[in-house]
Amino acid sequence: MERLPKRQRHQQLSKLLDENPFLTDRELTRQLKVSIQTIRLDRLELAIPELRERLKLMAERSYDSVRSLPLHEVIGDILDLQLDKSGISLFEISDEHVFSRTGIARGHHVFAQANSLAVAVINDEIALTASADIRFIRPARLGEKCIAKAYVRASGEQKGKAKIEVFTYVGEEMVFQGNFIIYRSAGESKT
């Protein structure tokens, strides 16, 4: 026993099931050359559920992800909001948001976070994006936490058009910058 095989096997097992979650324990024994009990102990230690549970989880995920499409309502979690002044939101880049080959976020998700925040920060019944001028400064990657900061430059309470600037950062680095013009109903009675 080289003191390693177990951890190595755990890694291999995770990898195998990651590649093909449809494997039974018995099929795993063939690949890993250990007894079925060992496989089961390994799954136990790694907190990997049995085949049927895995299938059920996948089925459930796909079942309710039919409704919760990638782009929902507000993209990102609002961390701070000062109506008609500024706002901050957090959005973590996960698998669904990236090009699978490169792990780089598709631009519209980063845009969606900024756009959602720009709309949210406007204190009005109805707020719609009229136009925007945006720049993707560097790609956002899988796993990165994007912090978007929105500043209202002209609230346009009379004119019906607000001007908002949004900067999105990953850590210290700016990944996105946008200038939004938002239509507002000017009735100014927040939800």
Partner DNA sequence: ATAGCCTTTAATACCTGGTGCCAAAAAGTT
Partner DNA sequence: AACTTTTTGGCACCAGGTATTAAAGGCTAT
Which residues of the chain form contacts with a copy of itself (CB under 8 A)? 21-22, 52, 54-56, 58-63, 65, 67-73, 75, 96-97, 99-102, 104, 106-109, 111-112, 115-116, 119, 126, 128-136, 139, 191
Task: Specify the 3-state DSSP secondary structure of 135.
Answer: strand
**Which of DNA, a copy of itself, none has residue 34 at its interface (CB below 5 to 8 Å by kind)?**
DNA
- Minimum distance from residue 21 beta carbon to DNA (Å): 11
Q: What is the DSSP letter of 3?
A: S
- Residues making up the chain, counted from first to last: 191
Which is nearest to 34 in space by CA: 1, 56, 65, 62? Answer: 1
Angle at 85 between CA 164 and CA 187, to 5 degrees: 85
What's the count of helices (H) and strands (E) in the chain, helices before strands? 5, 6
Please give the residues from 8 up to 67 whose contact with DNA meets the rule CB under 7 A: 9, 24-26, 34-35, 37-38, 40-41, 43-44, 49-52
Question: 59-63 contacts: CB < 8 A, separation 24 or more?
Answer: none
Which is nearest to 108 in space by CA: 100, 120, 96? Answer: 96
Amino acid at 72: H
**Which of a copy of itself, DNA, none has residue 30 at its interface (CB below 5 to 8 Å by kind)?**
none
- Minimum distance from residue 68 beta carbon to DNA (Å): 25
**Which of DNA, a copy of itself, none has residue 1 at its interface (CB below 5 to 8 Å by kind)?**
DNA
Note the residues at the interface with DNA (CB under 7 A).
Answer: 1-3, 5-6, 9, 24-26, 34-35, 37-38, 40-41, 43-44, 49-52
